[in-house]
Amino acid sequence: MGARQRIVIAKPGLDGHDRGAKVVARALRDGGHEVIYTGLRRTPDQIVRTVMDEDARFVGLSSLSGAHSHLFPKICELLRQSGLDDVIVFGGGIIPESDRAPLYEAGVKAIFGPGTSSSEILEFVEVASTKDCGVGSQNDWHWGE
Amino acid sequence: MDRRSLARQLSAIENGELVVSDVEGLIVAITGPPGIGKSCLVDSILQRLTPQNKVAVLAVDPTSPLSGGALLGDRIRLSVLDDKSKSDSIYVRSVATRSSSGSVPSIVKGLANHLLAESFDIVIIETVGAGQSEMRCAAIANRIVVVEGPARGDGIQAEKAGLLELADLIVVNKSDLDGVDRVVNDLTISLSLTNDAPQIIKTSTLTEEGLDELANVIMNLEERISSKRARCRQQLIMAHENILITNPNFEAILDRMSQEGLELDMALRELSE
């Protein structure tokens, strides 16, 4: 098992489907990480503030409403503006294949759809934590490439 | 100091990389059983303070004894965080208990000291849901607020020794539910036999009863003289436990106990060598 990380799991936007976020939060907890769960309907500002105050290394964004192409890049941008360049961003939910390339471009380092195993997410955290792949880095590596 | 650096320094303290000395200031622990409404009461208190009051909250949740991970969910209840006028005057940090025992990990003392040194007026510690004999928070906080609620047993519960004796303030929450007056009555009768009985406030975050009063009282809470010795006792026990869990052989000896059948008294002997 890798080192313990502090990870924020957040639900941006208006959708109320939090089963996925809770399952991921639980899997990360059982993998030995400290997970800060924000609850539903958070704005990008609130999420970035939480990541900053909690000194989290990772932030996982869950969206099932279709607003990911707007919200995920916005959060990446706000993280960079706030000087949180080393924070690693990953996402999950219902995210069509065709939407993924722009999200990777925006700084998201992994996208986990339905059916992802919890061990894969834990593996991502372990691998990503050893790479310089924060949202402000020039590293264009992403999970599963 | 900017929040980013503050958050980083708190992590360093949490990871044992930075040691902080004691600072004078108000450290209030809010403790009580799980689900009694501690987080919601903290939210209500923060809502009622002005942006001139700089307040830090350390919200503690348990670490899994199996995986070492934790799910820290206290922020969910803090709707005050959405209030932009207070976003600079309030700092909330979730803390996992990690290897410490008790409702507040010992490292919280260092976190609280650092926040006071960074000019926060008051540090509120929201403990893990705690029971009758969970008094570790007394080693860290200099004021203790015990939260009680309805339907938590009969009048004998109020007579039992323990956490209630250390309270500087007792809050009976969920006053919108039946049975609260009986709890207040039982507690009042029980405490009438002590010399410096703490105040009891009845609250409800649903009807907002008592919340204004609670916010006022918290900011000016007096320490009960009679609990001084008990506080010192808790400080001593916590310091001793710290020596134990920071022993470099601690985890290895745990492994040997669980896997190789190392006996308890042998383990103790090795740790004290």
Helices marked H in A10-140: 19-30, 44-53, 68-81, 97-106, 118-129
* pLDDT at residue B217 in the model: 93
* pLDDT at residue B235 in the model: 83
The token pair that represents B206 in the structure block: 């649903």
Alpha carbon separation from B262 to B176, B197, B256, B257 (Å, rounded): 53, 48, 6, 4
Say how far apart CA A86 and CA A15 lie, in whole Å. Answer: 28
* pLDDT at residue B161 in the model: 59
Please provide the distance, in angstroms rounded to a whole number, between the alpha carbons at the two ends of chain B.
Answer: 43
- Mean of all residue pLDDT scores within chain A: 91
Is residue B15 over pLDDT 60?
Answer: yes
> Could you read off the pLDDT of A37-53 as tens digits, one per residue?
988 888 899 999 999 99
Domain count, chain B: 1
> Residue A7 — very low, low, confident or very high, per pLDDT cuts 50/70/90?
very high
- What mean pLDDT comes out for the span A43-64? 93
* Contact yes or no for B67 and A31 at CB 8 A: yes
Domains and CATH numbers, chain A: 6-129 (3.40.50.280)
Q: Is B262 exposed, middle or buried (0-12, 13-18, 19+ CB in 10 A)?
A: middle
* pLDDT at residue B160 in the model: 60
> Could you read off the pLDDT of B90-121 as tens digits, one per residue?
999 999 988 776 667 888 999 999 999 998 99
Q: How many CB atoms lie within 10 A of CB B127?
A: 26
Is residue B159 over pLDDT 80?
Answer: no
**Residues B82 and A46: beta-carbon distance below 8 Å:** yes
- For residue A74, give how far its alpha carbon lies from the nearest alpha carbon of chain B (Å): 18
The token pair that represents A83 in the structure block: 């000087």
Q: Which residue range is the domain that position B51 belongs to?
A: 3-227
Q: Nearest Cβ partner of A35 from B11, B72, B81? A: B72
**Segment 13-52 of chain A within 8 Å of chain B by CB:** 25-26, 28-39, 46, 49-50, 52
> Residue A77 — very low, low, confident or very high, per pLDDT cuts 50/70/90?
very high
CATH of the domain at B184: 3.40.50.300
**How many CA atoms within 13 Å lie on the side-chain side of B189?**
12
Is residue A127 over pLDDT 90?
Answer: yes
* Contact yes or no for B3 and A35 at CB 8 A: no
Residue B238 lies in a domain: no
> Could you read off the pLDDT of A104-114 as tens digits, one per residue?
999 999 999 99
- What mean pLDDT comes out for the span B165-181? 91
ipTM confidence score: 0.87
Residue B260 lies in a domain: no
The token pair that represents B153 in the structure block: 């047993």
> Could you read off the pLDDT of B116-158 as tens digits, one per residue?
999 899 999 998 877 655 778 888 888 999 999 887 666 666 6
* Contact yes or no for A32 and B68 at CB 8 A: yes
* Contact yes or no for B69 and A34 at CB 8 A: yes
- Mean of all residue pLDDT scores within chain B: 86
Residue B273 lies in a domain: no
pTM of the model as a whole:
0.87
**Residues B31 and B147: beta-carbon distance below 8 Å:** yes
**Segment 67-86 of chain A within 8 Å of chain B by CB:** 82-84
* pLDDT at residue B174 in the model: 94
What does the longest C-alpha to C-alpha distance in chain A come to? 35
**For A37, nearest residue in chain B (alpha carbons):** B73
Residue B237 lies in a domain: no
Q: Nearest Cβ partner of A37 from B64, B71, B96? A: B71
Q: What is the percent of chain A where pLDDT is above 70?
A: 99
